[in-house]
Amino acid sequence: MQTVSKEAAKNFLVDRQFFLQDVGKDGTLEAIKRLECVQIDPIKVVHRNHHLVLHNRVSDYKPSYLNTLLYKNRAVFEYWCNEKSIIPMEDFRYFYYHMQHSMEFHSPFYERLKARREEFKEATRKVVAAIKAHGALCAQDFRDNVGSKTANRVLYLLWDSGIAMIDHVEGNRRYYDLSENILPKNLDDSVPSKDEHDRFMVEKYIRAYGLVDVRDWRFGWLPLKSVQRKAITKKMVKDGMLFPVRIEGIKQVYYILEKHLGDLEAAEGSSIEEKVLLIAPLDNLIWNRRMISEVFGFDYAWEVYKVPEKRKYGYYVLPILYGANFVGRIDPKLDRANKTMIINSVLLEKARLAESFIVELAATLKKFVSFHNASQVKIMQTKPVELKKALLSEINRLD
């Protein structure tokens, strides 16, 4: 068993996130491929989670890059992975297995709908017939037929089972077409066996997470019990594909793909460039919150679903990453009408950080504001208190 320091584990995990390594639409596709998938979330306090994730990987990222890949080039698609995610189209056939056997998998928020499939049978027939006749439609197009609410449920089920896909989006309206009309003509959509599917998903999951442990209920993005997760890792270790890793100071054993072991070893004694990044709440780096706590010593809970009186840090708080360390939290909100980025709080873990950190944080915040097409920034409070003045002074200097 390999033993490494926490510093090596942190360096390895951050380095594998490929922060700010790409440009343009092609760079956006490359980033998604390297990340394996990017989690989608509809909440729009600032840009949605998937755009924030890609903003940190593609230095000139624009939401239009992703929209082109999704709805014009069909180079990526949306489906369940790490929850609802954007996935490279080249992986479609494996997710097609999931679609063809959707009743065997948990689909977040859709379980009650799936149980009512028979109830929606006639409405489903009408929706499919209308799409065949007219092309891509949204739920509102069915308000005088089956009703927009029922149509919305039916379209979710058609999407979940792979019969329909999202053709394009207009505002908050999703337009669906039959998958056969959307998928690239030369795409391999043959359905793999269950063993092929499961093996692919486990390996994809491990590549995405970097270091994994069998406590994770999402292991392999498959419906696995603890004993099954342990059996899979044991077999992969025996087959030489997976390698157990002991991280100093942590009792739990983690695992790494054998082909990435050299990268972990190289991370010992190396360093990560001390850039400041505002990490999206559902960023790939922090999917495993327990690992982030154990390895980085940083406890993060997204408080967006908590009632206000139970929030400790704020509604839409983003962790602040500095090099390979989480050093604080920032709670932004975009005032779109006035083109103002309101920073409700900047809370640092330590009372003092180097002057160079303030310079980097100001530059990152300036870029963040520009990414949202805002023309000004307001900082409401900071910890320590004196950070507010220093940060605003540096931001003004950059104007």
Residue 174 resides in a domain: no
Distance separating alpha carbons of residues 352 and 73, to the nearest angstrom: 48
R_g of the chain computed on alpha carbons: 22
Q: Tell me whether residue 386 is exposed, middle or buried, using C-beta atoms within 10 angstroms of its C-beta: 0 to 12, 13 to 18, 19 or more.
A: exposed
Residue 312 belongs to what domain range?
298-398
Distance separating alpha carbons of residues 302 and 295, to the nearest angstrom: 19
The confidence score (pLDDT) of residue 104 equals 85
The confidence score (pLDDT) of residue 389 equals 95
The confidence score (pLDDT) of residue 113 equals 84
* Residue type, position 217, single letter: W
Per-residue pLDDT of the chain (399 residues; tens, 9 = 90+): 889 999 999 999 999 999 999 999 999 999 999 999 999 999 999 999 999 999 999 999 999 999 999 999 999 999 999 999 999 999 999 999 999 998 888 777 778 888 888 999 999 999 999 999 999 999 999 999 899 999 999 999 999 999 999 999 998 899 999 999 999 999 987 889 999 999 999 999 999 999 999 999 999 999 999 999 999 999 999 999 999 999 999 999 999 999 999 999 999 989 999 999 999 999 999 999 999 999 999 999 999 999 999 999 999 999 999 999 999 999 999 999 999 999 999 999 987 778 899 999 999 999 999 999 999 999 999 999 999 999 999 999 987
The shares of helix, strand and coil residues in the chain, as percent rounded to the nearest 5, are 45, 20, 35
The confidence score (pLDDT) of residue 52 equals 98
Please give the tally of structural domains in the chain: 2
CATH of the domain at 351: 3.40.630
Residue 367 resides in a domain: yes
Instruction: Note whether 43 and 50 are within 8 A (CB).
Output: no
Residue 349 resides in a domain: yes
Reported pTM: 0.95
The confidence score (pLDDT) of residue 115 equals 85
Residue 216 resides in a domain: yes
SS3 label, residue 225 = coil
Residue 330 resides in a domain: yes
Residue 205 resides in a domain: yes
CATH of the domain at 213: 1.10.10.10
Angle CA(131)–CA(134)–CA(137) in degrees, nearest 5?
A: 55
Residue 255 resides in a domain: yes
The confidence score (pLDDT) of residue 352 equals 77
Q: How many CB atoms lie within 10 A of CB 121?
A: 10
The confidence score (pLDDT) of residue 117 equals 87
Same domain, 310 and 258: no
Q: What's the DSSP call for residue 43?
A: -
Distance separating alpha carbons of residues 267 and 272, to the nearest angstrom: 9
Same domain, 253 and 307: no
Same domain, 313 and 253: no
Residue 80 resides in a domain: no
